[in-house]
Amino acid sequence: MRWLLFMFMVLSFSTGAIGQPSEAEIEMRAKEVGRSLRCVVCQNQSIDESDAPLAMDMRELVRDRLRDGDSNTEVISYMRERYGDYVLLKPPVQRNTYILWLTPFILLLAGLGWFFVNSGRREDER
């Protein structure tokens, strides 16, 4: 009898976890998604941080979609379809952002190259 009760509890707990994510989990994931989405009114804040009314509504929409069973990436691409790449706080690596992502490394290499060329020359002078 005790076993039965135990099994029942385990089962009901696990189906709850699979079928419908708990409110606490939704809240946690909504925060995670919210942090990666830009508030389109205030531009340099995420919707998680922003007090703008539109950001509030966007947070609500994120929660609704998570409750309906969307994954985090599905919610993000839903927003991206509407607001474009712009709504992502971290720009994706794609053709039009290569310059953005590669410039620091190019500059680093150029700097290192410059440094070694120069240090070599200084030793020659000595």
For the bound state, the minimum distance from the C-beta of residue 122 to other proteins, rounded and expressed in Å, comes to: 14
Question: Would you count residue 19 as binding other proteins (CB under 8 A)?
Answer: no
In the set 37, 40, 75, 76, which binds other proteins (CB under 8 A)? 40
Toward other proteins, which CB reaches closer, 114 or 116?
A: 114
Please say whether the beta carbons of 39 and 86 come within 8 A: no
Please say whether the beta carbons of 76 and 97 come within 8 A: no
Please say whether the beta carbons of 62 and 33 come within 8 A: yes
In the set 21, 32, 36, 41, which binds other proteins (CB under 8 A)? 41
Burial class (CB in 10 A: 0-12, 13-18, 19+), 115: exposed
Toward other proteins, which CB reaches closer, 29 or 55?
A: 55
